[in-house]
């Protein structure tokens, strides 16, 4: 068995002692199952979100990585429950076309997707978004955008940010330690889909502007802290990021073609991405370089 080694994962440094504890938990608590082992480790190491919830999902991914590296052995998965990625049906009726103005669709409403809506959201994303539907890792919120008449116009996904983006990190000006501590204050727009049946001039930029305002409140309610910066990566071969530019997002440059999974040491080269950010505070760069950004009253937010 290999010796423990310090690592940085999801913005947290794990010492050799921490990793030895994980190996001990995997061995001594094997009867609990992988999920309960992850929860136990989070309790022992106080690995939590700002709202106090355990980061057991991130911990489980780390345990699987450590098992792949030969550092520890996890118990086999229990046969009950769903195994592997969830298959998403794309057997949907084509929505009727919508040709209207934004004024005719008001009041637009951004509705958080709950358990009853989850299947439909995933079906829309799998059928109509070129990247399909993947289970997000870490903190995330999903939305339907609906018209005043209840018609579904668009789908949004906000997720944990990319670990490293050179253009973003240079724009913020933080060092590795500051990024590891404060990356949670950045939220990534991982998916944005306007249904192909919807033809409304200016709708995409309008949604982005309203979503940024609503996300502040919803993210704070769900995760116990207020984001300071939004980011997104746009496929440079397919899009120009026109709606982000129209919604006053800042274009920072292009990636070098790496992926969000680089931090897991999985190299799957892809096309370069256009990097856009949207500050939620007028002093966002300075705040993200603090040791710990303070809790900010809403009137300080953009």
Is the residue at 91 inside a domain?
no
Q: What angle do CA 88, 94, 97 make, to 5 degrees?
A: 135
Per residue in 178-222, pLDDT tens? 887 888 899 999 999 999 999 999 999 999 999 999 999 999 998
Number of domains, the chain:
2
Does position 87 have pLDDT exceeding 60, yes or no?
Answer: no
Determine the pLDDT at residue 260: 46
Is the residue at 145 inside a domain?
yes
Per residue in 111-163, pLDDT tens? 999 888 888 988 998 888 878 777 666 788 999 999 999 999 999 999 888 87
Does position 79 have pLDDT exceeding 70, yes or no?
Answer: no
Same domain, 41 and 189: no
Is the residue at 38 inside a domain?
yes
Domain extent, residue 217, equals: 98-300
> What are the respective helix, strand and coil percentages of the chain, to the nearest 5?
40, 20, 40
Question: Do 145 and 134 meet the contact criterion of CB atoms below 8 Å apart?
Answer: no
Same domain, 143 and 234: yes
Query: What's the CA gap between 240 and 243, in Å, rounded?
Result: 9
Does position 266 have pLDDT exceeding 80, yes or no?
Answer: no
Determine the pLDDT at residue 89: 56
Is the residue at 222 inside a domain?
yes
Same domain, 257 and 175: yes
Select from 68, 84, 111 the last residue of a domain. Answer: 68
Same domain, 142 and 282: yes
Share of the chain above pLDDT 90, in %: 41
Is the residue at 75 inside a domain?
no
Is the residue at 295 inside a domain?
yes
Same domain, 240 and 124: yes
Question: Do 271 and 202 meet the contact criterion of CB atoms below 8 Å apart?
Answer: no
Cα separation values, 237 from 199, 256, 274, 290, Å: 23, 13, 10, 36
Select from 23, 51, 68 the last residue of a domain. Answer: 68
CATH number of the structural domain spanning residue 284: 3.40.630.30
Query: What's the CA gap between 264 and 159, in Å, rounded?
Result: 17
Select from 17, 48, 68 the last residue of a domain. Answer: 68
Is the residue at 92 inside a domain?
no
Burial letters for 86-99: b for 16+ Cβ neighbours within 10 Å, e otherwise?
Answer: eebeeeeeeeeebe
- Banded pLDDT at 301 (limits 50, 70, 90): low
Does position 295 have pLDDT exceeding 70, yes or no?
Answer: no
Question: Do 47 and 1 meet the contact criterion of CB atoms below 8 Å apart?
Answer: no
Same domain, 117 and 242: yes
Is the residue at 269 inside a domain?
yes
Same domain, 57 and 110: no
Same domain, 14 and 56: yes
Query: What's the CA gap between 19 and 83, in Å, rounded?
Result: 27
Same domain, 169 and 290: yes
User: Where is average pLDDT lowest: 64-73, 96-105, 252-261?
Assistant: 252-261
Q: How many CB atoms neighbour CB 150 within 10 A? A: 8
């Amino acid at each position: 068995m290999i010796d423990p080694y310090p690592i940085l994962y999801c913005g947290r440094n794990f010492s050799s002692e921490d990793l030895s504890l994980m190996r001990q938990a995997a061995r001594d608590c094997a009867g609990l199952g992988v999920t309960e082992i992850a929860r136990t480790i989070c309790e022992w190491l106080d690995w939590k979100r700002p709202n106090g919830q355990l980061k057991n999902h991130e911990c489980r991914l780390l345990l699987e990585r450590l098992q792949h590296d030969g550092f520890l052995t996890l118990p086999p998965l229990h046969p009950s429950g769903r195994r592997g990625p969830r298959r998403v049906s794309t057997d949907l009726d084509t929505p009727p076309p919508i040709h209207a103005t934004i004024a005719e669709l008001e009041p637009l409403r951004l509705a958080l997707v709950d358990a009853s809506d989850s299947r439909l959201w995933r079906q829309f994303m799998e059928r109509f978004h070129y990247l399909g539907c993947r289970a997000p890792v870490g903190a995330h919120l999903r939305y339907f955008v609906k018209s005043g008449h209840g018609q579904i116009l668009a789908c949004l996904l906000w997720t944990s940010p990319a670990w490293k983006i050179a253009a973003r990190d240079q724009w913020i000006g933080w060092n590795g330690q500051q990024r590891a501590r404060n990356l949670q204050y950045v939220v990534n727009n991982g998916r944005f889909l306007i249904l192909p049946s919807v033809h409304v001039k200016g709708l995409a930029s309008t949604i982005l502007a309203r979503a940024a305002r609503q996300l502040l409140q919803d993210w704070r309610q769900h995760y116990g802290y207020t984001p300071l910066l939004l980011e997104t990566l746009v496929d440079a071969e397919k899009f120009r990021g026109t709606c982000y530019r129209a919604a006053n997002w800042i274009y920072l440059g292009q990636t070098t073609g790496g992926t969000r999974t680089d931090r897991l040491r999985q190299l799957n080269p892809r096309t370069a991405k256009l990097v856009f950010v949207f500050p939620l505070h007028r002093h966002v760069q300075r705040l993200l370089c603090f040791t710990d950004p303070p809790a900010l009253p809403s009137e300080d937010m953009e």
